[in-house]
């Protein structure tokens, strides 16, 4: 299937590793110009270089998405440099699961407001796109209670609600908005890689919950995200695509 992505311009936050990198790489492979941001300068530079090898334009910037002015400036710079923005993927998470107020603030500023500010900054470009698409990355923790109940699960649920509202509000402007909710996803250096070593009991318990007997790869999540972002999903808007290998058992109506 031709996803119709060639020549489109995409922004991906947290695009240097794990799910974010897999999304950025897949978009680049499909012919998009891709701009990524993250907080580690060395990782940003290396990832942008790798993306450039696919033939499209690729840029990277050091941005903390909880810094509203910095995020807005980055989006404006990329939009001017690329000559527009067609796709935004809000992928960054603080991964903060503590019960203290600091964890709530981190999750609110990074996960929720990082998403809201990204969308608002990109809106002038998306309105001119003709193929505008917003994809937010939530989590299965946003639709069920698990060990991340608290700030992480709450903000992930809020992202789903926010995105479905956007889909309704922006439909007349030809801009689509969807959410992808990954299940447990394992990759080198990622949170589940760390849990496997640091808390093997939790890792084993979590792994046992999935009837497939394994966790997802970043590429498996990216495949769903990139489809939602693409013109091939032209009549898909307001959905929450759960990609979890049948981990969750609640029925979505």
Catalytic residues: 138-139, 152, 156
| Helix or strand run (H / E) with residue 117 | helix 113-129
Strand runs labelled E in the chain = 9-13, 33-38, 58-62, 87-90, 133-137, 176-182, 240-243
Sign of torsion over alpha carbons 85, 228, 120, 111 = negative
Q: Give the span between the Cα atoms of 228 and 149, in whole angstroms.
A: 27
Residues 6+ apart with CB under 8 A from 252: 143, 240, 242
CB atoms under 10 Å from CB of 142, counted, come to: 22
The number of beta carbons lying within 10 Å of the beta carbon of residue 168 is: 11
For Cα atoms 47, 53, 54, give the angle at the middle one, nearest 5 degrees.
Answer: 105
Residues 6+ apart with CB under 8 A from 32: 5, 6, 7, 8, 9, 10, 56, 87
């Amino acid at each position: 299937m031709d996803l119709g992505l060639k020549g489109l311009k995409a922004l991906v936050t947290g695009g240097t590793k794990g799910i974010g990198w897999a999304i950025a790489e897949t978009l680049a492979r499909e012919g998009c110009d891709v701009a990524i941001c993250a907080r580690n300068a060395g990782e940003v530079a290396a990832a942008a270089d790798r993306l450039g090898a696919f033939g499209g334009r690729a840029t990277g910037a050091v941005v903390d998405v909880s810094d509203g002015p910095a995020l807005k400036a980055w989006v404006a710079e990329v939009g001017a440099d690329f000559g527009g923005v067609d796709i935004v993927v809000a992928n960054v998470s603080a991964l903060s699961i503590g019960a203290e107020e600091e964890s709530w603030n981190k999750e609110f500023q990074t996960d929720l407001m990082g998403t809201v500010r990204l969308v608002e900054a990109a809106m002038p470009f998306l309105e001119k796109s003709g193929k505008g698409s917003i994809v937010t990355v939530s989590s299965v923790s946003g639709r069920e209670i698990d060990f991340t109940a608290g700030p992480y699960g709450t903000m992930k649920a809020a992202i789903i609600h926010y995105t479905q509202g956007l889909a309704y509000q922006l439909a007349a402007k030809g801009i689509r908005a969807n959410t992808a909710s990954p299940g447990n996803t394992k990759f080198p250096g990622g949170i589940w890689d760390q849990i496997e070593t640091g808390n093997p009991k939790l890792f084993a318990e979590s792994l046992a919950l999935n009837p497939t007997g394994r966790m997802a790869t970043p590429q498996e999540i990216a495949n769903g995200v990139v489809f939602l972002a693409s013109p091939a999903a032209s009549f898909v808007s307001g959905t929450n695509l759960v990609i979890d290998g049948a981990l969750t058992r609640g029925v979505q109506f």
